[in-house]
Structure 1
Amino acid sequence: MSARSAKPSLKKARISAESSKTSKKAALAPEARAQTKDVPTLSVKGKERAASPVPGPRKQGKTATKTSDPSSSTSLPTSFKVVCGSYEKLLYGLEGTVSTSSSDYSFHLRPIFIFPAHVSCIKSVAVSPQGGKWLATGSADEIIKVWDLRRRKEIGGLMQHQGSVTHLEFPSRSYMLSASEDGTLCLFRARDWAVLRELKGHKGRVNSVAVHQSCKVALSVGQDRTLRMWDLMRGKGSASTKIYKEGELVRWSSDGSLFALQAQNTIDIYSTDMELLHTIIHPSRLHDIKFCKRVVGSGELLLAGAEDKKLTVYDIPADHTKPPTVIAEMIGHTNRVKAVDTMRIALPAGAAREETTVVCTISSDGKMRLYDLAALPASSEAQQQEKVQLEPMAEYDTKGTRLTCVTLADGDVGAHAAASGKRKRADDDDEDDDEEGGDLASQQEDEESEGSEVSGGEE
């Protein structure tokens, strides 16, 4: 299906409220309301409207019991997919696998598709999480292409934005959030690709969006030098503050207790009450940052890709009064590191460990490289004195393509999952998607029936 021939629901600006009179009068889902007590609050200085709390873990209920514990290695994928966009409008898809030899293991990359995806450069790629099948690509041609990653087939084009698509993210399997140079963010429902909300407030280009791990709160930064917070449960802005510089990226930490703002060669690390904890001055221009957990030992890491042709690893101390320090460098590229993504995977039987975290970097040198985060030793005083240099475990060369963005997607589910278990889990996932989509749609109907309008955190 071509981009212009997508089904009509792909172009809808909002869902009509046909049965709003009988809907529940609730802005938050019941489980979300129950979690607003005793959780940290993201307090943003500036113009506010009912600042939303940062929600806690999802309440265990009907849908929560259907999936495996995400911390268990049995629920982790045993393989993964790497999807990259480029200036040359090409979309690359590779399959990543792990093989064992004795107690050692090695990574392998194999191309599974390469084709032109847009009529202009690809600026963002995103994949639905937890084994989801959707791949979305955003381009300077103002179109978001949607693909079925399992069948490697284009589904259609979302033509909601009136500017280049700068960022895409799937908060869950059921929803996708997009940002654009037109100053808006759009929340799509993956079931029918209807636009549930168009979030307005930024004056100028939106550069980056970060969704909290609870999927209920998002932060965005843009050309207007403003940090904005969005309540995704109500579908509206909740607070904003001036940051006096154009934020290029915003990222949440793995546990949601910190967030980082990147601009040029600086990284500002904040607590959720908007207290500036530390400012990192990187030696060269930054292009991407990413939080992740250690594999060996415990603690938070911040990965930073830059013009210096390497990925720098910062240790983020548990004591937030202590400054971050450089503990390692991932080397091998011959040009700037443009983007980075990570994924936890389960290792095959016979490997020295049960799981690890794979780090994928892309560069303007046209190469994708994989690193094993387990090669980084546990935190120690000795490590603080000397930087570790990590070599790539595998690479793929596109022969000169200028890569711009990357995302990692789940491959096969845990090796010891029974085939019947896989089938049941897939059925449950589809059922969960429908339930989650219905919840948010009913919330929108409630708000529309009351005459509420979507605004951008300012009145």
Structure 2
Amino acid sequence: MGKRKRDAVDDHRPSPINGSAKEQKTSAQRIDASANNHITIQIVVGSYERVLHGITAEVPQFAVALTDKDSDECITFSDTFLFHAHTSAIRCLALSPPTSSKDTSAQNQRVLLATGSSDERINLYHLSASPPPRNNKAPPIPSLTSNAVTEDPKNRELGSLIHHSGPVTALHFPTRSKLLSSAEDSTIAIVRSRDWTVLSTIKAPIPKAQGRPSGDTAPPGCVPAGVNDFAVHPSMKLMLSVGKGEKCMRLWNLVIGKKAGVLNFGREILQGVGEGKWGSGEGRKVVWNQSGDEFVVGFERGAVVFGLDSKPRGRILPSPPTKIHQLRYLSTSKAPENPRSNKVELSNVLAVSTEDGRVIFYTTTPCEASGLGIDSSEAGIPNCRLLGQLGGRSTGLGGRIKDFDILEVSYGDLRSGNPEFITVTGSSDGAVRLWRIKVHDILYSLKANGSPASENQSSSMRVGSENTDATKPSSPSPRQIGTLAGVYETGNRITCLRAFVMVGHADSGGNGGNGGEHPEEEMNYESNNSSDGSDDS
């Protein structure tokens, strides 16, 4: 019996043209994995009931291209953790970037979770960045509900921070190595995540009492004080903050930890966003865009977009008038391969969640042409062009959306290179909804000659007035630019929400690492000295 001739078999193999056979095999495996597998989204929600709820949503790749009915049947939700994290309502959440060390595998990557509450405490947790391994042999975890339960032993609690003396209002991880927190004690603390040491405390001035605004719940003899929100510039050198009882925003220099300036909100700005005579006029939210060339300040019923020169570029005023709860810019990880798709256009798209159950999308790009349906308001600030919306009473969803997050789906459109987005919304009725947004729908609205739903074109509505005609739609309803992909009922009144796309696959086991910290990019300000900005008015 003769030996088998391997050379004869190898002669029939096609020779690689654009690269080696090993590279082609790796590329083919990557395409097959992208075509056959799914993504897993980790969702974390806080509620008035002090409950911290972790949910994973498995979204198959083909579910992104199917109809709503098919997508709802394909998406699988499961509980990863559910417990009382605080002694009072949870007000804010923050997620850190995952570990980026080269020697850390996908199964060993960790994400830091920080939760802030009215009990003046900040709780810290380690979350696994990879889906929990599937163990079909293990008995199911008993539960009183029909929801699937999948525990991950790599999720663990780290401890609590008690450096604030007031309810925590905002949390943010600019990098994995730093955590910034603000509270109603008018302080912004910078904490190092390596040993959880408070490096510095920035003190915002307490505003002077200038009358009692409507809805003020401060006790007698006290004035509303505290930091409502803050935003760190992408360069990690500047920070903006807005506070209670202040009709201004403050700029802080993070290099030296000192105040850099104060921008007062003029009458035309406040009137342009519906802040009347008896309104507080304070900023509720502040957000930088991805490139750092503009920022938006959110008020109770509107928002104003500013440039780097601190001059207003445009205003956002939903119609019919409603309260605003959250603001977020669309962000993409890389520029699309298709030259027709512009990353700059997507980075200037702002999403706004409202009291009446909508997520409205606007473009903040300045438009000089008068034929785009943008009329100047009476205050002289142009209106941002409306692109579309998600949800709303027209779709049967009227509950207020307290918080939402926008995630870029990695598999997206492989041919054109355009990503797709999944928007995760949390409502006060306890529902977590996943919406699918195609990029070409947003680009179509951006390149349209006219506003697809010119809600700001209503000339019959005057800002700050109580005209009953303002509630009547003077133009067609905004077009829906997304489709509902899945709904999960938590049973709690949601106050805050954060989400991220998990790496790896659920079928890949692994014991996980020790969750140790890795050196990350450090912020410039490392001093232990506290800065005080109370010398300005």
Q: Which residue of 2 aligns with 1:279?
A: 315
Q: Which residue of 2 aligns with 1:381?
A: 448
Deviation at 1:239, TM superposition (A): 1.8
Deviation at 1:278, TM superposition (A): 1.6
Deviation at 1:186, TM superposition (A): 0.4
Distance 2:316 2:187 in 1: 29
Deviation at 1:319, TM superposition (A): 4.4
Normalised by the length of structure 2, the TM-score is: 0.62
Q: Are residue 262 (structure 1) and residue 298 (structure 2) matched? A: yes
Normalised by the length of structure 1, the TM-score is: 0.72
Q: Which residue of 1 aligns with 2:531?
A: 454
Distance 1:246 1:256 in 2: 23
Confirm or deny: 8 A CA contact 1:327 1:383 kept in the other structure. no
User: Cα deviations across residues 94-138 of structure 1 (Å, max 9, x unaligned)?
Assistant: 123331339936554332111110000000000102455210000
Question: Of the candidates 80, 90, 97, which is equivalent to residue 58 of structure 2?
Answer: 97
- The structure, 1 or 2, with the larger RCO (C-alpha pairs under 8 Å, 6+ apart) is 1
Runs of 4+ in 1 over 6 A off after TM superposition: 348-354, 426-429
Distance 1:265 1:253 in 2: 20
Q: How does 1:241-320 map to 2 (within 5 A)?
A: 241-243=263-265, 245-282=281-318, 283-293=321-331, 297-298=341-342, 299=345, 300-317=348-365, 319=367
Q: Are residue 328 (structure 1) and residue 392 (structure 2) matched? A: no
Distance 2:124 2:291 in 1: 29
Distance 1:327 1:393 in 2: 20
Distance 2:231 2:493 in 1: 25
Distance 1:323 1:429 in 2: 48
Confirm or deny: 8 A CA contact 2:91 2:117 kept in the other structure. yes
Deviation at 1:356, TM superposition (A): 2.2
CA 1:350/1:291 → structure 2, altered by over 3 Å: closer, same or farther? closer
Q: CA RMSD in A?
A: 3.3
Q: Which residue of 1 aligns with 2:80?
A: 112
Distance 2:55 2:331 in 1: 24
Question: Of the candidates 201, 205, 223, which is equivalent to residue 204 of structure 2?
Answer: 201
CA 1:175/1:457 → structure 2, altered by over 3 Å: closer, same or farther? farther
Deviation at 1:164, TM superposition (A): 0.3
Q: Which residue of 2 aligns with 1:9?
A: none
CA 1:279/1:96 → structure 2, altered by over 3 Å: closer, same or farther? same
Q: Which residue of 1 aligns with 2:27?
A: none
Distance 2:127 2:81 in 1: 10
Q: How does 1:60-139 map to 2 (within 5 A)?
A: 78-101=39-62, 104=65, 106=71, 107-131=75-99, 132-139=110-117
Confirm or deny: 8 A CA contact 1:371 1:394 kept in the other structure. yes
Deviation at 1:252, TM superposition (A): 0.8
Distance 1:195 1:81 in 2: 29
Deviation at 1:382, TM superposition (A): 5.8
CA 1:319/1:215 → structure 2, altered by over 3 Å: closer, same or farther? farther
| More strand by percentage | 1
CA 1:325/1:154 → structure 2, altered by over 3 Å: closer, same or farther? same
Q: Which residue of 2 aligns with 1:395?
A: 487
Question: Of the candidates 230, 236, 261, which is equivalent to residue 239 of structure 1?
Answer: 261
Confirm or deny: 8 A CA contact 1:317 1:323 kept in the other structure. no
| Secondary structure at the counterpart of residue 101 of structure 1 | helix
| Secondary structure at the counterpart of residue 438 of structure 2 | helix
Q: Are residue 412 (structure 1) and residue 503 (structure 2) matched? A: yes
Q: Which moved more, 1:404-413 or 1:215-224?
A: 404-413
Distance 1:374 1:429 in 2: 38
Q: Which moved more, 1:199-208 or 1:285-294?
A: 285-294
Q: Which moved more, 1:77-86 or 1:215-224?
A: 77-86
Deviation at 1:192, TM superposition (A): 0.6
Q: How does 1:17-28 map to 2 (within 5 A)?
A: none
Deviation at 1:349, TM superposition (A): 9.7
| Secondary structure at the counterpart of residue 391 of structure 1 | strand
Deviation at 1:279, TM superposition (A): 2.0
Q: How does 1:361-372 map to 2 (within 5 A)?
A: 361-372=425-436
CA 1:269/1:102 → structure 2, altered by over 3 Å: closer, same or farther? closer
Distance 2:120 2:409 in 1: 34
Distance 2:157 2:60 in 1: 31
| Secondary structure at the counterpart of residue 392 of structure 1 | strand
Unaligned runs of 5+ in 2: 1-33, 100-109, 129-153, 207-224, 267-280, 370-381, 454-477
Distance 2:283 2:64 in 1: 45
| Secondary structure at the counterpart of residue 149 of structure 1 | strand
Confirm or deny: 8 A CA contact 1:264 1:285 kept in the other structure. yes
Deviation at 1:161, TM superposition (A): 0.5
Q: Which residue of 2 aligns with 1:222?
A: 243
Distance 2:197 2:63 in 1: 51
| Secondary structure at the counterpart of residue 531 of structure 2 | coil
Q: Are residue 190 (structure 1) and residue 282 (structure 2) matched? A: no
Distance 1:136 1:103 in 2: 30
